[in-house]
Chains A and B, each alone.
Chain A
Amino acid sequence: MNFMPDILWSDKLIFLLLAALSASAWYVRRHEHLLLPWRRVAHSATAMVSLMVLSLFLLIGLLDSLHYRAALPEKNNGETVYSPDVLSVFDKLVTPLRTHTEKTYSAPLAVTLYAKESTTDAQGNVVRDYPRLQYGGAHLADVSSRDGDIARRSLIGAAAGLIAGLLIVFAAKRWLPAHNWPKGPMFIAMLIITILIGALANLASGYHVLGTDKVGQDVLYQSLKSIRTGLVIGTVTTLVTLPLALFLGIAAGYMRGWVDDVIQYVYTVLSSIPSVLLIAAAVLMMQVTIDTHPEWFDTSASRADLRLVFLCLILGVTSWTGLCRLLRGETLKLREMEYIQAAQSFGVSTLRILTRHIVPNVMHIILIALVMDFSALVLAEAVLSYVGVGVDPSMISFGTMINSARLEMGREPMVWWALAAAFAFMLVLVLAANLFADAVRDAFDPRLSQTE
C-alpha cells in the first residue's frame, strides 16, 4: 500500500455528525408530519439556492476530511515509512495548487512577482526587474499575450462548465423526485456554479487566480482549505452544545425543585462571564496543557487538529446556556399540558414521557438554534484567531488568513488579495448559512406559521 489512512479526531467527529444527519434524514423521510416543515423549506427559492451553495462547501469540506499519509520511496529494512505530512483527498485532487508555490507575494493572475528583484542577465549586468513567476503564467513565452490567454482560458473553462451544468440540469429534470421545487432559480444557480467552477479550474491550471501569499502559497488553495476549518467549528461544536443543553434544559424544566435550582445556577454562572473572555481563558489553559504534553501527538497535523477539537469543545461549553434556557422554558410549559398529565396519571415512566412527549416537541427549537448558531460560529473563528485564541497558527483558516494578510496592509502597493479572498469566501458561506437558517426558522417556528 502506498498510503496509510490517518483519521484525525475532527474527521471522526465530522463523519459521526454526517452519520447522525443521514440517520435523522432517513427517519424524517418515513414520517410525513416531520417531513411537512421541510417541504416548506423546499418551496423557498432562497433556501434551496443557499442549500446548494452550502452543499458545495460541505463537499469540499468532506473531501478535505479524508486524511492519509503517503508512503515515502525509501524503505526502512523492508518496512514502509510514511511521510509525516498528513494530506487529504482534497489536497490530492488539487495537487498543482498545493505544490506550485512561488517565492513570495504575487498579485492575482500575475505572471511576475510583486516586488522587484536584482538579477544578473546573460551579459553579467545587474538588472532590477519584476522576476517571472515559477508557475503562474509560466507557459507564456511572451508576457504581453497574458490578457488574451486569460480570456481564452476562462471562456473555454466557462463553456465546459456550462455543458456540465446543462447535463446536471437535464439529469435533475429527469430524476428529481416529484415535488414543487423552485426549479428555475435552482437550475440557474446550478449553471452559475458550474460555469464559475469551470472558469476557475481552467484558469487555476495556469495561473494563481487569487495570487500568492508571503511564502508563495496559492491563496485560492488556502481559501478552499479554510472551508473545512470553518465547517468543523460550526458543526462539531454542536456535538457538545446539543447533549448539554438538551439533557440539562429538559431535566431542569421537568424535575423542577432543587435540580432546577442547581442547573439554573450553573448556567447563570457560565453565562455571566463574557464569552470572549471565557473562551480566551479556556484556550490559554488548553495551550499550556498542549505545550507541556508534546508526547501526545505524532504529527504536527494531529496537534493542530486536537487543538481545533478542543476549541470546538470550549466553544460548545461556553455556548450551550442560551439553548438550555430556551429548552427549560419550553419544558416548563409542556409539562402542564393535558396530554403530559394524562400520561403521568396513566403511570407512564418519566423516561418514556421525556423521550416520547417532551423531546419531540422541543425538536424545532433545537433545530432552529443549531442552524442559527452555525454562521455565528464561523464568524467567531476569525475573531478568535485574531485575538490569538483561535485555531493553531499552522492550520489554514479564514482567521489565520486574515491575520497574516492584515500585517501587510501598510505595504505600497497594498497586498489586498488574501483579504479579499477570505472576505469573499466567508461572505458566501455565512450568507448562505444565514439565508438557509432563516428559511428553516420560518418553516419550523409554529408561532410564525399560525399567523400566516
Chain B
Amino acid sequence: MDVAGDLEARTSKMIAYLIRRILYAIPILIGVNLFTFALFFVVNTPDDMARMQLGIKRVTPDAIENWKQQHGYDKPLMLNRAASGTGKITDTIFWQKSAGMFVLEFGFSDDGRSISREIATRMGPSLAIALPTFMIGLVVYVSFALLMTLFRATALDMAGVALCVVLMSISGLFYIIGGQFLVSKLWHLVPISGYAVGEDSIKFVLLPVLIGVVGGVGSSSRWYRTIFLDEIGKDYVRTARAKGLSELHVLFRHVLKNAMIPILTGVVVVIPLLFLGSLLTESFFGIPGLGSYTIDAINAQDFSVVRAMVFLGSLLYIVGLILTDISYTMVDPRVRLS
C-alpha cells in the first residue's frame, strides 16, 4: 500500500469524523441555549429583573416598562402573535437575546458595550496567565508524580502523598492571599496586582502563574501518580523489567507512553477553557481578562454578560471534547475514528 494513499484515506476519514462530531455538538449547544434561556427568562420574568435592577423603592409600572424597553426585554418570550410573517419568531426575546449566540453575536452589556468585542480584547490577558500556568503546571505535576512512582512504597513516596493531601485540602483562596502577602507585600519582588502589555507584562504574570501552579500540585500530582501506579502493575512492565531494562527506562519509555490516554482525557478538555481564564486569579490580581469580566458582571448583575459567558464556556468545553478524541488517535493508533 502506498504511503500517500494511506495518508489520504486517513485524512478523509478524519474529516468525516470531525463533521459527525460537530453535527453531534449542535443539539447540545441548542440544549445549553434553551436551558440558559429558561434559567434567565422563565424562572424570573423580565418584570422581576427590572424590579431588582431598579431597586425596590422607586418602582412604578412606567419605570419597569422603560427599563424593559431600554434593554430590549419588552417583547414576548418565544412567539410574537402581534407581528406578521417571520416577525412572529424573530421579534421575540428568545430570537434576539439567545439565538444570536450561535453565530457568536452576544449583544450588548448593561453599560452599552459590545460583548463580542470585550471578549476579543480580554482573551489576550486571560491566555497570558492561563497558558503558562497550564504548561508549567503539566510539566511539574507529571514530573512530581513520576518521582513518587519511581520511589513508590518508600518513605519519600509516603511523604509526597501526604504533602499532596495537605496541599489539596487548602482552599485556592489561601494560595492567592498567601502568595500575594509573601511575594509582593513582604519581599516586594513583584507588584501586588495589575497588568501591562508587552515586555512589562512579565512581572505581572509571574506571581499569578506561580500561584496557579502551586495551587494545583496537590490534586493533580496525586491523580497522575494513581495513573502511573495503575500502569506499572501491568504485564508489559514486568516483561520490560525481565528484559533487563532499568527502572528509569521502564518509567519514561513505557509507562509514561502508555499512560498518555488517561492523561490526555483530563488535560486536553481544559485547553480551550484556558481562554476563559481563572475567575479567582484574575480578580485578585486585577488582570483585565475574561475571568474578571465574568466576576464583575456577576457583581453588577449584568445578565447579558453572564449568559454570554455560559454559552461561550460550553462551546469551548465541547471543542475540548472533540480535541480529546483527535488526540487519542494521535497517541494510540489502535483507537479508531468511529
| B-binding residues in A (CB < 8 A) | 265-266, 268-270, 272-274, 276-278, 280-282, 284-285, 287-289, 291-292, 294, 375, 379, 382-383, 386-389, 398, 402, 406, 409, 414, 419, 423, 426-427, 430-431, 434-435, 438, 451
Contacts and interface: CB of A to CB of B under 8 A. Distances in A.
B165 interface: yes
A284 B273 contact: no
The 4 A-B residue pairs whose C-beta atoms are closest, nearest first, are A269-B31, A431-B169, A274-B313, A430-B169
A282 B40 CA distance: 8
B28 interface: yes
A273 B320 CA distance: 12
Given A266-B31, A430-B170, A430-B171, 13 more contacts: A269-B314, A274-B314, A277-B294, A282-B39, A284-B301, A288-B48, A292-B44, A386-B173, A388-B298, A406-B173, A419-B174, A419-B177, A438-B165
Residue of A268, A273, A277, A438 most packed against chain B (CB within 10 A): A277
Contacts of A288: 44, 48-49, 52
B51 interface: yes
Contact of A434 (B32, B52, B165, B301): B165
Contact of B295 (A284, A294, A387, A431): A387
B310 interface: yes
A409 B173 CA distance: 13
B74 to A, nearest CB: 18
A289 B32 contact: no
A291 B301 CA distance: 13
A281 B174 CA distance: 25
Contact of A435 (B35, B165, B306, B317): B165
B173 A383 contact: yes
B309 interface: yes
A284 B173 contact: no
Given A277-B309, A387-B279, A434-B165, A289 B48 contact: yes
A276 B185 CA distance: 30
B252 interface: no
A386 B177 contact: no
Nearest to B161: A438
A451 B233 CA distance: 9
A265 B295 contact: no
Contacts of A387: 279-280, 283, 295, 298
B333 interface: no
Contact of B169 (A280, A282, A409, A434): A434
Nearest to A292: B48
Contact of B52 (A292, A383, A431): A292
Contact of A388 (B177, B295, B303, B318): B295
Nearest to B303: A284
B172 interface: yes
A406 B181 CA distance: 11
A104 B171 CA distance: 27
Nearest to A276: B279
B27 interface: yes
B145 interface: no
Given A269-B28, A272-B28, A288-B48, A427 B310 contact: no
8 contacts: A269-B314, A285-B40, A287-B52, A289-B44, A382-B171, A388-B295, A430-B170, A434-B165
A431 to B, nearest CB: 4
Contacts of A388: 295, 298-299
Interface in B272-316: 273, 276, 279-280, 283, 294-295, 298-299, 301, 303, 306-307, 309-310, 313-314
A383 B172 contact: yes
B169 A291 contact: no
B3 interface: no
A274 B317 contact: yes
B14 interface: no
Contacts of B321: 272
A438 B219 CA distance: 13
B166 interface: yes
Nearest to B317: A272
Contacts of B237: none
A288 to B, nearest CB: 5
Contacts of A383: 171-173, 280
Contacts of A273: 32, 35-36, 310, 313-314, 317
Given A282-B39, A434-B169, A409 B177 contact: yes
Contacts of A414: 181, 185
Contacts of B32: 269, 272-273
A272 B24 CA distance: 13
A269 B294 CA distance: 21
A431 B166 contact: yes
A274 B273 contact: yes
A439 to B, nearest CB: 12
A287 B180 CA distance: 32
B56 interface: yes
A427 B280 contact: no
B43 interface: yes
A402 to B, nearest CB: 6
A402 B279 contact: no
A272 B172 CA distance: 23
B260 interface: no
Contacts of B31: 265-266, 268-269
Nearest to B316: A274
Contacts of A426: 170-171
B50 to A, nearest CB: 10
A281 B39 contact: yes
Contacts of B233: 451
B317 A427 contact: no
B140 interface: no
